[in-house]
Amino acid sequence: MLLVSEPVLGADERAALAAVIDSGWVTMGDRVHEFEQVFARMHGADESIAVGSCTAALHLILHALGIGPGDEVLVPSLTFVATANAVLYVGARPVFVDVDSTAVPLMSLDDAKAKCTSRTKAVILVHFAGYLADREDWQAFARSKDLHLVEDAAHAPGLPAVGTFGEAAAFSFYGNKNMTTAEGGAIITRSRALSDMIRRARSHGMTSNTRQRLASRSPDYDVTMLGFNYRMDELRAAVGLVQLRKLPGWNDTRRHLSHYYRRLILEFCPSVMVPFDASWLSAHHIFPIVVPKAADRQSLIDQLREAGVQTTVHYPPVHRLTFYSDLYPSTPLPNTEDFAQRELTLPLHPGMTPADVEHVVHSLAVALGAPLLTSAVA
């Protein structure tokens, strides 16, 4: 089965894990610190903060920004549920914003403006599929309304422009992401005061960690704020350091595969739309397509699976999930709903070859009932 995503793990990661085990120090320590430094340099930042997940990163950012009960946060519904969950974690209300269109499934600035109220305190931009939102337009909007601007950059690690939009950016290293630490995440913020607050909140609000107390030969510490247990451990950081070295090459492979997909789909599956322009800046995390309205998406999924090709959907709209539809009924987002009903995610990962792309497009063309177009791809 050709999977939608597949982590690249091998001897380098195995050796890095063994070195941590041999060291006898597996909690947050020197490797986490090194990982933070390398990740920050990759994104042109002075520092980053490694955490247990992107969900933890989003929660910590909103918590440190002082978002709380009575506040509203603009979020897209076309995202993983964690984006909205983090808003609820701090007691605020997520306000779901539509996407621009099926061709540009990023949060609509016009709809965000229409839904902004005196209670709106922040906006979370999601770089869906790895494609970056328009920085200047969103910065201008945030300034005009005095809003905190936060990036959910789970899909976009490795792009220097990421993390430069507003107060902070949250990243994911889950197993299906462009690089992985199994579970894990990171935060980039350009504010030293915000960074210091997040760093302390990540570990119970403590003024020092175990490694620092060992080095200083003092067991004393204080707790100066409400904190959480959102730390990254040495094992994950060790894997992350190996993965970071490979990330630029992997992102480049994703880019080449994505462009090849576009060319073949245009030629052999002309009824299928590929969102975004080919020149759009992206980390190419996933490869979404929009199938024709007349197509039976489940039938396509089944036929592709029979051909050895896994597909999935990104995403079921958050506002339509039972928990959120019960909380906030009657939330019409027509563009989001149209996209979500027709979106299909094709395999894309660095382990693939051009021949794999050809096989996927061939199988898709057959499933769509276009056998006369497939011979050149088969």
- Known catalytic residues are 177
Phi-psi region of 44 (alpha: psi -120 to 50; beta: other; left: phi over 0): left
Render 267-328 in DSSP notation, one character per residue.
HH-TTSB--S-TTS-B----EEEE--TTS-HHHHHHHHHHTTB--B-S---GGGSHHHHHHS
Q: What order of strands is seen across the sheet that includes strand 185-189?
A: 49-51, 185-189, 168-172, 148-152, 120-126, 72-76, 93-97
Contact 120, 73 (CB under 8 A): yes
Q: Cα dist. 314→66, 208, 292, 354 in Å?
A: 30, 40, 17, 23
**Would you give the DSSP letter of residue 360?**
H
Phi, psi of 251 (to 5 degrees): -65, -35
- Residues 347, 349, 350, 356: what is their CA dihedral angle, to the nearest 10 degrees? 0
